[in-house]
Chain A
């Protein structure tokens, strides 16, 4: 083989692998990404039940109920709209009423959200960024709190 042919083999092979990778990435991006919505987004956009998504906001004070078999029900609020969430399992250490939370799961036909993952903030100074944005959007965010949100306060 000449130098030119060898180079062609090399470039052809590389392009082939890149094409396969691009196809994989595009198909994975279509099927396996999860969108984030605030309770108000859900009320406004009416996403189809069964769609996987993340929701975020504050755990509404007074809404937390525990059932049998580690069932937990609570409402997530962004100050404007609430959405009921149910989850079966162990909630994180910092999961509390009035605190920020992000839940991942599906919207049930009845309008409640069936979560399979619940993430709470993991430091008393840190607030999930999605939650901050959701609260800002609904106008419930005071800049005084921003100190706590950036992680570091000086």
Chain B
């Protein structure tokens, strides 16, 4: 009964979506207010029905209703409750339902909070949002119905892929989807503006909070995915340049560019057409990401559920929305009015620089991800493009970007003074150079890249703080004045500084781990000791344990630093009998921001175990930086001008229609 209700709710959501796809567009054309208002109610109702459908699926999983095919395939009655719930989206069908749930949530939010939008724009945005939703409802109902029943209900399920039985999975996909799908709002706004044939600074002000919120979720989502791969896959790497990872990185890069260009548009009414294009591209890349992951066209270390047959459907959606969006852009964008003027050396110029490098970097990732696919389609030759490619292309493009980053906030709008900004960044340069020298000396002059990388990270961090110091007059003005000024600063200034600081923190972690991580792979006998990076690990023996749906053999190691015991690490191998599958659970020990990482290999006949031991200095900074970036986004989002909303566009002549 419950699965049928869920299925039915989804069909109803589709019906509502179809109404919402047509009525508001007609209403906006004929200026029929009641028809336009239909969109708000249907958007909210759509969300309610999709939520009911999702809830029904959760109930199926929680009650272990194995008559439902996806529950049988991906769940097990002995699984802990939390994994029963997370396995709802640990498979293709459920994750697509989560996708539309978030899509309809965003639609409902626009309907609820978009009261300051002009009626026609709001109607059109919701209609476009509904086009996307309908395409995905159809995709789910026709090719990936999660509520499909089995003719005979088996007694027991096949269990969730053990690699996915992890708390990281509970958080990672929803966050990633919030990010991916959040960009759909920017896309809908862009398409609506193109249909409307007018675009102004207020448009950017409406779009920015949505983009910012999506970007925050995506930032943490990508970071979570990276951390999950780090501890769960047992290789100790934090980024593999795997197609699935690239699929989430590309929308992040485009979204970051969009955030910045929208600032220019909002403040200076410039870069309008470019911002529109970025809004279309950011969501297109999200769709491509969904396509890459869901269609299984690429070989990837973590494509868990894929089916090439469904690829065709997603490909059609892709062609429809990306092709349609870009065609509309090519047709309508030239009709839009040109934006304001600015000198190359100015805040706008700096943001253009940012956009240029971010989108180019995104392009190289795109080429690296899709080139193998294109080559195989054309010549039949199979290749893999891995980390070396991206280190040679992506990294060199990011260096100028990071060098320029501290300059941006210090340059005034319209016309700036690069020497003046450089002077104010003297302290940051100084600290950065000293860092380079110190690290270079400490390394004994072995490598040049590492000192430079650390110096760059420090420069970025100090550079981000410089703007705050400048504006609050810290070290110059008396403390009460500083406090007063700090309180008076717009939250977006704090947000910018915080997010930029986060980039520096992440960079520091990446450079540190890439340079100073050490590794030992040995077979160790009981009561023997391995030492690495000043730590000694002595192997105490193997312990057999059993969990709710697995048996595990754990190797117990006592960790000593300078002879003093600091803790115990227990890497293990888990055997899930339901799938006959073994997983390796790495043991992690956090020391400050660094980690010891121990993962287990085979147990040999002589009682020794093969282990892989890593020391990862400052590795936590990589993900901590992402959290700091998200906090920066949150600060920006709480800025007064975004909370209050946009002014009425009639006030200024610059905001007149573009005809």
Contacts and interface: CB of A to CB of B under 8 A. Distances in A.
B389 A54 contact: no
A32 B610 contact: no
A94 interface: yes
B583 interface: yes
B344 A6 contact: yes
B356 A14 contact: yes
Given A25-B364, A94-B582, A152-B307, A70 B384 contact: no
Interface size class of A (residues with CB under 8 A): 35 or more
A124 B577 CA distance: 12
Interface residues of B, number: 61
A18 B360 contact: yes
A33 B521 CA distance: 27
A108 B371 CA distance: 28
B573 interface: yes
A10 interface: yes
A128 interface: yes
Interface string A69-104: 110000000000000000001110110000000001
Contacts of B161: 123
Contact of A24 (B342, B386, B392): B392
Contacts of A36: 382-384
A1 B341 CA distance: 10
Interface stretch (B217-225, B295-303, B640-648): B295-303
A34 interface: yes
Contacts of A94: 581-582
Interface in A93-127: 93-94, 104, 119, 122-124, 126
Contacts of B303: 151
A1 B161 CA distance: 62
Contacts of A34: 383-386
Contacts of B521: 70, 89-90
A57 B465 CA distance: 54
B513 to A, nearest CB: 19
Contacts of B579: 124
Given A150-B308, A152-B92, A54 B384 contact: yes
A13 interface: yes
Nearest to B161: A123
B381 A35 contact: yes
Given A13-B356, A69-B523, A154-B69, A31 B397 contact: no
Contacts of B306: 150-152
B612 interface: yes
A21 B383 contact: no
B343 A6 contact: yes
Classify the interface of chain A: helix, strand, loop or mixed.
mixed
A13 B353 CA distance: 9
Contact of B610 (A10, A29, A70, A151): A70
Nearest to B310: A152
A138 to B, nearest CB: 15
A46 interface: no
Nearest to A154: B69
B659 interface: no
B389 A32 contact: yes
Contacts of A152: 73, 91-92, 305-307
Contacts of A70: 521-523, 601, 610
Contact of A122 (B163, B361, B384, B388): B163
A76 B304 CA distance: 24
B363 interface: yes
23 contacts: A1-B344, A6-B342, A9-B344, A13-B356, A14-B356, A17-B360, A24-B393, A25-B364, A25-B367, A32-B386, A32-B388, A32-B392, A35-B383, A70-B610, A89-B521, A93-B573, A93-B582, A93-B583, A123-B581, A150-B306, A152-B73, A152-B306, A154-B73
Interface of B: 69, 73, 91-92, 161, 163, 296, 299, 301-308, 341-344, 352-353, 356-357, 360-361, 363-364, 367-368, 371-372, 381-386, 388-389, 392-393, 396-397, 521-523, 573, 579-584, 599, 601-602, 604, 610-612
Given A24-B364, A70-B601, A123-B163, 13 more contacts: A24-B396, A27-B392, A29-B371, A33-B383, A36-B384, A70-B521, A70-B523, A91-B601, A93-B573, A93-B584, A94-B581, A123-B304, A154-B73
Give 5 closest A-B pairs by Cβ, nearest first. A90-B601, A32-B388, A36-B382, A28-B392, A24-B393
